[in-house]
Amino acid sequence: MEPESSKVGAAPPAWIDSVVRLLFPPVAREATVGDLWERYRSPLQFTAEALRVLPFVIGSQIRRSSSAPILGLQAFILFACFDGFEIIPRNVPLWATAAVPTLAALLGLVTRDVYRKTDRRTIRRGLLDVVTAALCILFSEGVLAGLAAARHLSPDWVLPGRLAISGAMGLPILYILRMGPRLIADADASIGPGRNWAAISPFEPSAAEFALDYHEFERRARWRNRAEVGAGLTTISVAIFFLCRFKPSVAPLGWAFLSCYGCIVALLAANGAVRPSPPGLGFTSLQLLYIRELARQHRVRRFMWWWYFVPLFLGLTIHLVLHGIRSEQPLLSLLGVVVALVLGSCITRLNRDRGRSVQEKIDALASLGERPPSLRP
């Protein structure tokens, strides 16, 4: 089967090719732009075809690179930090003011995910993600402020100063949220269905190789833990500044929020790292330790995901459910319950997805046996 004939030796102009290459996500660029070259007939046909194909390729990359629960939780945390759940009489409702920077940040993060070269998560990449989100928020607010200054929009569309600071509180949580589940996956990726010993070598690992692998898992988990503790402390610092500076009406909620994060940071500092393997541990004992630590790490993180969102559940109860009851607006209370259920389902799904991958890794580990010396390559 031969492809549609194209002019022999014909190629698109270099500048069109450069633009097309830039538009296509790096993961799909090589094959897709190559296919477009092969079908080249004229610059117009090439450009039109590239523009027709591009939405499909980007859509497919969004599906592949974004996780629905993580995206949902990111939206929740940003929207809540911009006070989107607060019901107060205002020219422009707060939910609309909060929705713009939330959507801008999500758009920036999704675009970043689509145009990544690799799927490997690092601490630096997590920081760049947060910087991207912050820049998108600043840009959207800048545009709104410009439009408000030119009297095209009500100034209420622009976030008040106090909300900009409470929004900054959401960024470290955003970092944990984006890096947490994936960093754990990276930390555990040394042995698992994606990269197991059988795939690397037809032989089982030796005890020394296995110990090295555990050491690598321990090292990555230690860095992940430090990053999470750092993000937690940053959130607490910004929150203390916010509470002392603005003395908001929801201060009791704010202190509850702080105590939750204090507990998380204490839990992580005390219990978050992987236990080091004692020297001279045999293959089977190390295998058991590895499995036990993977399961324990999963339990700690599963518990933490709920803790991270305790303040949000409290906020939903106060701002929507209780406010609806007090003001005799049953629909508002119902909305609060529905939103809390959606939030809970996002956390449950995140934990379930994570649990599935941890179980696969544990199964892969459990199936390993020590390579006999006679089979060593």
- Of 249 and 359, the one with the shorter C-beta distance to other proteins is 359
49 touching other proteins, by CB under 8 A:
yes
Q: What is the CA radius of gyration of the chain?
A: 25
48 touching other proteins, by CB under 8 A:
no
- Of 31 and 251, the one with the shorter C-beta distance to other proteins is 31
Q: How far apart, in whole angstroms, are the C-alpha atoms of residue 177 and residue 180?
A: 5
* CA distances in angstroms from 374 to 211, 245, 287, listed in the order given: 19, 70, 21
From candidates 13, 26, 31, 90, binder to other proteins by CB under 8 A? 31
Pick the stretch among 25-33, 79-87, 265-273, 276-284 that binds other proteins (CB under 8 A): 25-33
Half-sphere exposure of 346 (CA within 13 A, CB side): 22
Classify residue 104 by burial, with Cβ atoms within 10 Å: 0-12, 13-18, 19+. buried
Task: Tell me if 165 sits within 8 A of 241, measured CB to CB.
Answer: yes
Compute the least distance from the CB of residue 198 to other proteins, in Å. 17
4 touching other proteins, by CB under 8 A:
yes
From candidates 19, 38, 42, 259, binder to other proteins by CB under 8 A? 38
54 touching other proteins, by CB under 8 A:
yes
369 touching other proteins, by CB under 8 A:
no
Give the long-range contacts of residues 343-347, CB within 8 A, separation 24 or more.
343/72, 343/73, 343/76, 343/309, 343/312, 343/313, 343/316, 344/313, 346/68, 346/69, 346/72, 346/73, 346/76, 347/69, 347/73, 347/305, 347/306, 347/309
Pick the stretch among 57-65, 106-114, 244-252, 355-363 that binds other proteins (CB under 8 A): 57-65
353 touching other proteins, by CB under 8 A:
no
11 touching other proteins, by CB under 8 A:
yes
Q: How far apart, in whole angstroms, are the C-alpha atoms of residue 78 and residue 102?
A: 6
150 touching other proteins, by CB under 8 A:
no
Task: Tell me if 40 sits within 8 A of 32, measured CB to CB.
Answer: no
Pick the stretch among 37-45, 122-130, 333-341, 364-372 that binds other proteins (CB under 8 A): 37-45
Pick the stretch among 36-44, 131-139, 200-208, 348-356 that binds other proteins (CB under 8 A): 36-44
59 touching other proteins, by CB under 8 A:
yes
What is the contact surface with other proteins in residues (CB under 8 A)?
A: 1-4, 6, 11, 17, 28, 30-35, 37-39, 49, 52-57, 59-60, 63-64
